[in-house]
Copies of this chain bind each other. A is one copy, B any other.
Amino acid sequence: MNGAQSLIRTLVDSDVTACFANPGTSEMHFVKALDDVAEMRGVLALFEGVATGAADGYGRMADHPAATLLHLGSGLANGSANLHNARRAATPMVNIVGDHATHHKRFDAPLDSDIEAAAGTTAGWLRTAARPEDVAGDAAEAVAAALGPPGRIATLILPADVSWSEAPGAAAPVAPAVRATVDEARIADVATVLRSGEPTAILVGGSVTRERGLVAASRVTQATGAKLLGETFPARLERGAGRPDLERLAYLAEFIEMQLSGVRHLVLVDARSPVSFFAYPGRPGDLVPEGCEVHTLATGSEDATGALEALADLIGAPVDGVARTAANRPEIPTGDLDAGKVAAVVGALLPEGAIVVDEAQTAGIYAPGATVGAPHHDWLTLCGGAIGMGIPLATGAAVACPHRRVLTLEADGSAMYTIQGLWTQAREGLDVTTVVYNNGSYAILNMEMGRVGAEAPGPTATSLLDISRPDLSFVSLAEGLGVPAVRVEDAGALHTELATSFHEPGPKLIEAMVPSGF
C-alpha cells in the first residue's frame, strides 16, 4: 500500500466517498489509487473552481465532507474563490492539494509556489503531510477537523513522494468534536430579555436554518412577540409549506436598517452581528441600531438549536405554537419574461424535495417570495459573496442527493465564472436544471455604482458594467459543454421547458431573457 492508497482508504473509512478532482502530474498516484478503493467516487471537473464549489454543495447537503483533489498552488488558487464561499458557509470539506515531492521543493521548479500561504486564507485546518507513514493519520484528523463545529475546510497538502512511497495502511476514523451545550445561565439571561417586553429580534443563522431550529425559533417568537430574522445568506435553509418562514436580512444596508429599526435587543443564535456587505461613503458599517443591546444565545460551535429548544421550554412556549407557512403556489404568468415572472413560474412548479441554488443576484429578488408556499425544499445561497458558486454548488448537491431535483437560479455574469461546471453535470448525468437570467449586464454593479456615491458613470465606466457586447448565448455555451439547452423569452415557454426538465433525468439549461432590473 502506498501513501495515496492509505489516504484514500482512510477517507472512505471516515465516510468521505466523493472526490471532486482536477489533477495534474503530481497527483497521478492519487488518481491511480482511486481504482484501488472502489468506494471513492472520483468526479472530474474542467476547472478547480468547479471542484471546490461542488465540494461545498456536497458538504452542505450531506452534512459530511467531500474531498477535492487540486494540482499544486495554482490549482488551489483557481479553487480559492469557492473555498472562500465554503468557509463563510462553514461547510465541512477536505481539500487535498498535491505538491512537488519533498526532495524536489528546493529546486523551485516552474510550478512551485507557497501553497501554505495561499491555503491559509481559506483553511480552518491546514497541514502538510510530511511522511508516508503519517498521511493516513493526517487524513483522519482532517475529516474530524472538517466536521468539528461549525464545520470548516481542512486542507491537507500532499507531496508527491508521500503519495507514491510505501505506507503502513489506513488510519482509524477520528471522532470530531461535538457541539458544546449552552449553559443554562445564558439561556436564562435571554429569557429575561424576552420577558422584558422591550422590542426584541432573534437573528438565526448557520446550523439553525434547518427545520428543527426554525421550529424552535418560531415557538420562541410566537410566544413572546419577538421578531424572527435570518442571516442574509444562509448556507442551507429548509423551507416551504408547513415549515416556519424565515424573513432574511436584506442585502442592502438601508433595508437592514429598516428591518432592525426600533429593536432594543438583538439575540444572535449561530449568527453574526449584522454589518454592511460593502462600505459606502458616509454610511455606517455596523448595522445594529443605536441603543440596541446584542446578546449571544449560541455561537457556531455550540448546540444552537438545542439552546433555542431549551429557551422555548423555559419560557413556556407551547410545542405546537409554531407559525407554519401555508401551502400556496403563484398564478402561472403569461407574456414577456421578467425576473418576477421567472420567480412565479418557479414557484408554480418547484417539486417536492427540490434543492434550489440561488446565485441570481438582482434578478433573483422575487424568487424566495414566490416559492415560500411550495412543497418542502432547501435553499442554498452565496455565503461568501464570491461569484461563480452556483453551477458548481448545484453539481455537488446533485452528487450528494441523487434522488432530488436541483434547480440553479443563476445570474449571467456569475454564470460566466464557472460555466465549465455544466460539463461535469452532463458527464455525471446529474438532475440539475439551470435557469440563467440573461439581462446582458452586471446589473448589481449598475446599482452599486449609484450607491457608493459615484456620480453618473461615463461611457467607459458604463461599458465595464455591460456584458451585452457581444451578447452571450448560454444555449451555445451549454451545448458546447454537452448540456441540452433552450432559450425562452416568454413565461409560457419557460413554464413548458421547466416542467419538462423537472420530469426528465439529466441536466438542462434554460436561458431566460429578462430585462435588467436596474
Q: Is A117 part of the contact surface with B, judged by Cβ < 8 Å?
A: yes
0/1 interface trace, chain A 374-393, chain B, CB 8 Å (1 if under): 00000000011110100000
A88 to B285, CA, bound (A): 40
When C-beta atoms are compared, the residue in chain B nearest to A471 turns out to be B482
The answer on a CB contact under 8 Å between A23 and B445 is: yes
> Which residues on the B side are within 8 Å of A445 (C-beta)?
23-25, 28, 31
Among listed A188-196, A275-283, A311-319, interface-contacting one: A275-283
Instruction: Tell me if B28 and A452 are in contact (CB < 8 A).
Output: yes
A248 to chain B, nearest CB (A): 14
Mask, A415-441, CB within 8 Å of B = 1, is: 011011001001100000000000000
Closest to A420 in B: B416
Contacts of A465 in B (CB 8 A): 31
Q: Which residues of B contact A49 (CB under 8 A)?
A: 78
Q: How far is the CA of A495 from the CA of B423 in the complex (A)?
A: 30
Specify the chain B residue showing the minimal Cβ separation from A465: B31
In the complex, which residues of chain B have a beta carbon less than 8 angstroms from the beta carbon of A285? 101, 103-104, 107, 109
Contact with B along A46-81 (1 / 0, CB 8 A): 110100000000000000000000000111011011
A334 at interface by CB-CB < 8 Å: no
Give per-residue flags for A94-113: 1 if the beta carbon is below 8 A from chain B beta carbons, else 0. Answer: 00000011011001111101
Contact for A80 among B80, B160, B427, B481, CB less than 8 A: B80
A473 to B473, CA, bound (A): 14
The 27 sampled A-B contact pairs (Cβ below 8 Å) are A25-B451, A28-B445, A28-B454, A29-B454, A31-B445, A31-B457, A32-B455, A34-B458, A34-B460, A34-B464, A44-B467, A74-B385, A78-B80, A78-B388, A101-B279, A104-B278, A104-B285, A109-B278, A110-B384, A117-B121, A161-B279, A161-B281, A164-B454, A416-B420, A470-B482, A477-B477, A477-B480
